[in-house]
Structure 1
Amino acid sequence: MRSTTEKMKVDPRDAKLSMAHFYVAFIALALGGLAGLLQVLVRSGNFQLPAPITYYQVLTVHGVLLGLVLTTFFIIGFQFAAMSRTAGTLSNGARKSGWLGFWLMTIGTAMAAAMVLLNKASVLFTFYAPLQAHPIFYGGLTLVVVGSWIGGGAMLTSYVRWRKQNPGKVSPLLSFMVVVNMLLWLVATIGVAATVLLQMLPWSLGLVDTIDVLISRTLFWYFGHPLVYFWLLPAYMCWYVIIPRIIGGKIFSDSLARMSFILFLLFSIPVGFHHQLTEPGIDPAWKFLQVALTFLVVIPSLMTAFSLFGTFEMYGRQKGAKGLFGWLKMLPWGDARFTVPFIGMVTFIPAGAGGMVNASHQMNQVVHNTIWVTGHFHLTLATAVILTFFGISYWLIPHLTGRVLTKKMNKLALIQGCLWAIGMIFMSGAMHAAGLLGAPRRSSFSTYGGSAQATEWIPYQIAQAVGGTILFVAIILVLIIFINLAFFAPKGEQEFPVGEAAETAEKTPLIFENWKLWLGVTVVLILFAYTIPLIDMIQNAPPGQKGFKLW
């Protein structure tokens, strides 16, 4: 007997809001994927871009569209649907705020994209100073961030409304997770908003001659590392809440899921210095502290792995599985809604191990600024996260459009997931190997084409091109499936699967809903990790910059 919650659907008005975000996200996937293909072909040394397109222009298009636009629009669209499904239909005010946020983000994206295409903002997706872009690029980024704040505010108001209507009750798990992720985003984007508005934009407009690059990079990485978890937590939402329902099992522990999300909120923000281990001007003691805090994120990651595989094993045992790994045979491998995200889960194991290397105070010196980092990035975001996003879209898009995932599209989705895994083995594997040989990050083949060391990298660059080509084929398949599910699939009812906690799981304590406590601890950790280092940077700023504070 299904519960009332399981019968709920996303309101059609809210579905239109979510779909608007998905349209932008998949357009970004198409254009960013093409730029990625061109990039790896250039790196192979056997392809030249037609004039006047430049390598770093293509590199910026790829990073901005896939790393920022695709992810942000998909996540916000998914989270609006999740809130509507579990906390109830959005209020008219929240929906209007959602649309306002969407249009601000879309206009900002168009502004930034125009400058990149005009080759006036080839500053990569990290836009580090002293690289400088056109003011319209920075203005566009500002609109994207502000739009996301407005959309996030609409989600938070929906959660607050649910709490008022259900006093003393534990909120739906999926809604709780959305709130954690949006709070993480709102706190983290303060850093990038500060550097763009107070440093980059005045500098680009010519209002100041110089900016403090160290403070700029510090503010960016205050945002840049939690950005990774803003990408990752929606995938965790799927793994924790959606996958158990798809396989016909139960959530291993509601409390464990909430605790892991709270720990991500606490430990993901005050750790940006581990991206700046080779930079002068930061006391090594503060770098070491933030490295230690970085490794604390391993705890919720291991909690997640334990919970997920506990869910799989419980399900398998209920089906009569025997032996240590007999439950694996019981999982629905023919269902793309499960298999595609599962590939992402498995990929996160080596991705997490590589992340520990990057965060290490010592081992980072071996791989810093090499293409190893790019390979790691493609295992985490471009495989673990993006494959899970694809898996979500295979049931969420038809749910929102009133259609169904057919057997034909399901089979095509399975092929797409396998192609993605094969392509990433070639590309990311070659990047990791070349990085250990010292191959630089973000440089084209022509930069080092004549050196003996560059010759050593050639086989790995060719493997990257092979992998990138396979990945582009997989992107084409994803786009075919998306268009079919949005416009051409048969009309019908596609479930928005939301799992329930196992009957044997412990009762969830209300302390997880104490946001004053968790936000208070988060602020204390941030102040502890950043206050003294930022004061040191300002006091020891280069001559001519001390009076400007931030610039």
Structure 2
Amino acid sequence: MTTVAERAKDLVKVDRRDGKLALAHIYVAFIALAIGGLCGLLQTLVRSGTFTLPWGIGYYQILTVHGVLLGLVLTTYFIFGFQIAAVSRTSGTLTDKQRMLGWVGFWVMTIGTIASATMVLLNQASVLYTFYAPLQAHWIFYAGLALVIVGSWIGGAGQIGKYIEWRKANPGQSSPLLTFMVVVNLSMWIVCSLGVAVEVLFQLLPWSLGWVDKVDVLLSRTLFWYFGHPLVYFWLLPAYMVWYVVIPKVIGGKIFSDALARLSFMLFLLFSIPVGFHHQLVEPGISSFWKFLQVVLTLMVVIPSLLTAFSMFATFEIRGRALGGKGVLGWFKKLPWGDARFLVPFIGMAAFIPAGAGGIINASHQMNQLVHNTIWVTGHFHLTVATTVVLTFFGAAYWLIPHLTGRVLTKQMNKLAIIQAIVWAFGMSIMSGAMHIVGLFGAPRRSDFSTYGGSAQAAEWIPYQIAQAVGGTILFIGIVLVLYIVANLLWFAPKGETEFPVGEISENAEKTPMALENWKIWLTICIALILFAYTVPVIDMIQNAPPGSKGFKLW
């Protein structure tokens, strides 16, 4: 039976000032979801050949809005809001300086986001979220991107500062698991975003301003994918934080192993960055040896993924059996399937099984030849970030927002949240499934219907394009539902106390080795892997750059 002291511990509140900072990020995230989701619906309708955009709006214009707002803005802002609250909850209230860094970072990011979004909406930056050269955007778009990156570094510094402060005050002790995970994710983000910062500041921005005539396209793509693949894990690791730390508490269990959780995060840090070439397997100018090396490193992330799957299902089984579950799968029935805080992220976990299998195909040189640059890749992307990550974020929002606003998730909203997740899973199964199938037939990604609408081959693709539109429409209904729930939790839900669930470590878990928090070791290995994987090929790109591309030179 829960004691009064335990209940008080469970209801430790994030400081109101920290909560206000976290909520500011969450507001922007869900505004991005509303606008980006509408553009996603329009995309699928255009691709089906049944809809023409009005008022001279271009297909690539809405495609860029959709990709930038959902792939970059929604994810980054929600992650920062969640991480700020998580650090405050587990390591203590932020200092005035740390909170100030958070607000400065927020406003720098927001100014950059508004600047970039304005250029996209004015059709001056319809370059997709990858903004590949030789597609060129207005210089304000690139300047805005630079501000978003710099703002994230400033905001992240406040969170890392809290971790450093805690370690100094508690020498020889393992830091709070959730705070440790936040610092790993931020470390990965800072290291990988250096690549895109260099690309934007030293190549694309001078080029768009007319200071140079050309850029080295291969080098710019390499710098982007040095950032672009770790970006996937920047999205994914906060979902893992919820799985590892929050879900055990939600189901009434305990964290299976603190050490295993920390090890899996450190392995993601090591193996998520030096792998960008697996997105460039069909590009000339990169030696097959370096492509092979990075494919091997890419597949190494299977290890922490399997560690996570083992840890989570061990937690589920132990709890289910404690509740009386018998037989091989009897424990499975005992899990709280009627609790949206559990069910919604669990659907995301389940989606990660086919998503991970698709990722192995994308990263494998021979199989990649079949699916590269087809809409299969888009379908994979929607299973990973748009299902696994986004559903976990929704599930987290259902307790995080009421915790920060002093409200409660009512039974009615809990039921609606479950319906929303089922609607989302159903719509995504149709849309992503159609993308995967027609991708195997060679249907290209990033193309509107008018590009190939008259060909005989395109006629075979039409049913799948229509299926995408049907799935996209169902997904948009899911977006409307989640926005309704979020609005309720922000302004209309009954006042009350909602806990920020943080699981306790199982008493049977092995003691966590302090070596897992020896940052000198792990960052040294990380940097060594990056230098090994990138130094020689990047030098080769610069030395053998096409005449007139000028590399990094600004004159």
TM-score by length of 1: 0.99
Is the deviation greater in 318-327 or in 87-96? 318-327
Q: Alpha carbons of 1:131 and 1:340: their partners in 2 closer, same or farther (altered >3 Å)?
A: same
What code does the residue aligned with 1:401 have? T
CA distance in 1, matches of 2:552, 2:374: 34
Offset, 1:543: 1.6
- Over the aligned positions, Cα root-mean-square deviation in angstroms equals 1.1
Q: Paired residue for 2:263, among 246, 255, 259?
A: 259
Aligned partners of 1:215 and 1:550 also within 8 Å: no
CA distance in 2, matches of 1:386, 1:125: 18
Q: Paired residue for 1:270, among 267, 274, 293?
A: 274
Aligned partners of 1:538 and 1:550 also within 8 Å: no
CA distance in 1, matches of 2:21, 2:551: 46
CA distance in 1, matches of 2:551, 2:445: 35
The reply on whether 1:507 has 2:511 as its aligned counterpart is: yes
The reply on whether 1:331 has 2:297 as its aligned counterpart is: no
Aligned partners of 1:540 and 1:546 also within 8 Å: no
Aligned to 1:133: 137
What code does the residue aligned with 2:252 have? G
Aligned to 1:90: 94
CA distance in 2, matches of 1:332, 1:547: 56
CA distance in 2, matches of 1:537, 1:550: 17
Unaligned 5+ runs, structure 2: none
Aligned to 2:467: 463
Aligned to 2:351: 347
- Deviation per CA, 1:468-520: give whole Å up to 9, x if none: 00000000000000000001100000010000111111011111110111111
The reply on whether 1:209 has 2:209 as its aligned counterpart is: no
Is the deviation greater in 511-520 or in 195-204? 511-520
Structure 2 counterpart SS, 1:362 = helix
Aligned partners of 2:216 and 2:551 also within 8 Å: no
Structure 1 counterpart SS, 2:365 = coil
Aligned to 1:422: 426
Q: How does 1:425-504 map to 2 (within 5 A)?
A: 425-504=429-508
Structure 1 counterpart SS, 2:424 = helix
- Deviation per CA, 1:418-461: give whole Å up to 9, x if none: 00000000000000000000000010111111111000001100
Aligned partners of 2:11 and 2:497 also within 8 Å: no
Structure 2 counterpart SS, 1:249 = coil
Q: Paired residue for 2:406, among 398, 402, 411?
A: 402
Aligned to 1:51: 55
Q: Alpha carbons of 1:216 and 1:503: their partners in 2 closer, same or farther (altered >3 Å)?
A: same
Aligned to 1:377: 381
What code does the residue aligned with 2:154 have? I
Aligned to 1:181: 185
Offset, 1:7: 4.0
How many residue pairs end up in the alignment?
551
Offset, 1:68: 0.3
- Deviation per CA, 1:197-228: give whole Å up to 9, x if none: 00000000000000000000000000000000
Structure 2 counterpart SS, 1:168 = coil
The reply on whether 1:411 has 2:415 as its aligned counterpart is: yes
- Deviation per CA, 1:34-82: give whole Å up to 9, x if none: 0000000000100000031000000000000000000000000000000
Aligned partners of 1:424 and 1:471 also within 8 Å: yes
Structure 2 counterpart SS, 1:363 = helix
Q: How does 1:19-418 map to 2 (within 5 A)?
A: 19-418=23-422
What code does the residue aligned with 2:290 have? W
CA distance in 1, matches of 2:280, 2:55: 35
TM-score by length of 2: 0.98
What code does the residue aligned with 2:366 have? Q
Aligned partners of 1:295 and 1:356 also within 8 Å: yes
Aligned partners of 1:42 and 1:49 also within 8 Å: yes
Aligned partners of 1:211 and 1:550 also within 8 Å: no
Aligned partners of 1:5 and 1:86 also within 8 Å: no
Unaligned 5+ runs, structure 1: none
CA distance in 2, matches of 1:413, 1:497: 18
CA distance in 2, matches of 1:73, 1:251: 27
Offset, 1:5: 5.2
CA distance in 1, matches of 2:123, 2:550: 33
- Deviation per CA, 1:111-166: give whole Å up to 9, x if none: 00000000000000000000000000001001100110001000000000111111
Aligned partners of 2:251 and 2:335 also within 8 Å: yes
Structure 1 counterpart SS, 2:290 = helix
Offset, 1:87: 0.5
Offset, 1:3: 8.1
What code does the residue aligned with 1:130 have? P
Offset, 1:4: 7.2
Aligned partners of 1:128 and 1:217 also within 8 Å: yes
What code does the residue aligned with 2:305 have? S
Aligned partners of 2:545 and 2:551 also within 8 Å: no
Q: Alpha carbons of 1:282 and 1:43: their partners in 2 closer, same or farther (altered >3 Å)?
A: same
Aligned partners of 1:43 and 1:461 also within 8 Å: yes
Aligned partners of 2:213 and 2:549 also within 8 Å: no
Aligned partners of 2:345 and 2:388 also within 8 Å: yes
Offset, 1:366: 0.3
Aligned to 1:536: 540
What code does the residue aligned with 1:523 have? I
Aligned partners of 1:39 and 1:55 also within 8 Å: yes
Offset, 1:319: 1.0
Q: Alpha carbons of 1:548 and 1:150: their partners in 2 closer, same or farther (altered >3 Å)?
A: closer
- Deviation per CA, 1:325-360: give whole Å up to 9, x if none: 111100000000000000000000000000000000
Offset, 1:6: 3.3
CA distance in 2, matches of 1:548, 1:61: 29
What code does the residue aligned with 1:270 have? P
CA distance in 2, matches of 1:214, 1:274: 14
Aligned partners of 1:104 and 1:143 also within 8 Å: yes
Offset, 1:546: 5.6
CA distance in 2, matches of 1:427, 1:545: 40
